[in-house]
Amino acid sequence: MKITALAAHTPEAVRAALAARGWEAQPAWFAATGIQPLVVLLEDITAAEREALVHWGTKSGADVLTGDSGHGAGHWALISGAVSRIAPLARYDRAPAELARLAPALGRLLAARVEPPRTWAIRGGELSLDKPLIIGIVNVTPDSFSDGGHLATADAAIAHAEQLMADGSRLIDIGGESTRPGAAPVPVDEEIRRVVPVIAGLIKRGFGAISVDTRKAEVARAALDAGAAVVNDVSGLQFDPSLARLLAGAEVGVILMHMRGTPATMDDLATYQHVAPDVAAELAVTAETAERAGIARERIVVDPGFGFAKTAAQNLRLLDELATIVALGYPVAVGLSRKRFLGAVTGRPVEDRDRATAVACALAWERGARLFRVHAVGITREALALAGATTNPT
């Protein structure tokens, strides 16, 4: 007898083992994904639902842990097992009647796991997410945390953007207001003065995939008029109530980031019961708000907001548990570039964190992120090329 442990973190190991033993490609892939492990946390369930889950777990072979939320807040359950064991709960015709309320949400979660978004609709087209999408950062600010003041003129910013595109960036994100911890707000007219000439200059040179990094509807409108195709809002539509309506009408790509408070107050708001599920819940509300405002789902990307209202330890935990954010079903962008928590781990100053950024991006890719906002595109592209080659072998 020969016993071999297969890698459990990816369905590829099981698929390859089945293919080597004569299985055809499609059945082998379905079987491999079906026996992948899945852990689901259910909160605010009733006593009857909790009891039904315990009985279902005994019959299905899934592990079920339950408890009381306390303070009269209902009950919780944690389910662990193969996807194929848990999937029947998402079907009304196979789940116990007492658990019918679970089906819609669980069905959406499983669908996002099996068929994650493969494209992102932006203004005038779409971007493929089958390979890493690197977003090059162009900050035309005097006070950004790592590169403030480096691009003092529109011509310098345009030249830098051209270099980022040559290095492998597929989208350029232009920001005119620093959102580093403690940063002061920038007047609308000044922010427009900083970003619009750069956007217009890149459009004249034939670059169509341009994003503006702003929280303000007036700035976004000016950037869109200049040719921007994406709006990246670090406040997740919380700062300017009129921004959502503008974005819906303009039919642009939208990046919605998680942040609590403002750059001046966010460091005092980094309190979570469990950071990844808490951030996921808050991002889900943000995305639902965007859709209710008329922004199409296929235009939305979510960003968990590394470094925004999160401690170093929370950022590391969020990176490791990034799959919880991916399970929302939207493409996930990460802004890991040169962040403080990378310095806390490596001991490197802000100007020497590009290697750590590249490694963190590779880890994020393995956990399901597909968009990567960075300062140094070349080294990140190489790290992601290697990560992509291992998760999508040819």
Tell the residue number behind the tokens 């899945």, with chain if given: 38
CA distance 386 to 187: 42
CA distance 18 to 343: 43
Instruction: Point out the catalytic residue in the list 123, 340, 373, 381.
Output: 373
85 is a catalytic site residue: no
CA distance 276 to 302: 13
Tell the residue number behind the tokens 């040719």, with chain if given: 227
Element (H, E) at 12: helix 11-19
Query: What are 374's two structure tokens?
Result: 């960075």
CA distance 171 to 369: 16
Instruction: Point out the catalytic residue in the list 215, 339, 340, 381.
Output: 339
Where on the phi/psi map is residue 100: left (φ > 0), alpha (ψ -120 to 50), or beta? alpha
Contacts with 298 (C-beta within 8 Å, 6 or more apart), sequence order: 117, 119, 120, 121
CA distance 379 to 364: 15
Closest C-alpha to 297, from 232, 251, 343: 251
Query: What are 83's two structure tokens?
Result: 């996807």
Contacts with 102 (C-beta within 8 Å, 6 or more apart), sequence order: 42, 49, 89, 90, 95
Gyration radius (Cα) of the chain, Å: 22
Query: What are 80's two structure tokens?
Result: 């662990």
| Residue 14 backbone dihedrals phi, psi, to 5 degrees | -70, -40
CA distance 339 to 111: 33
373 is a catalytic site residue: yes
Active site residues: 339, 373
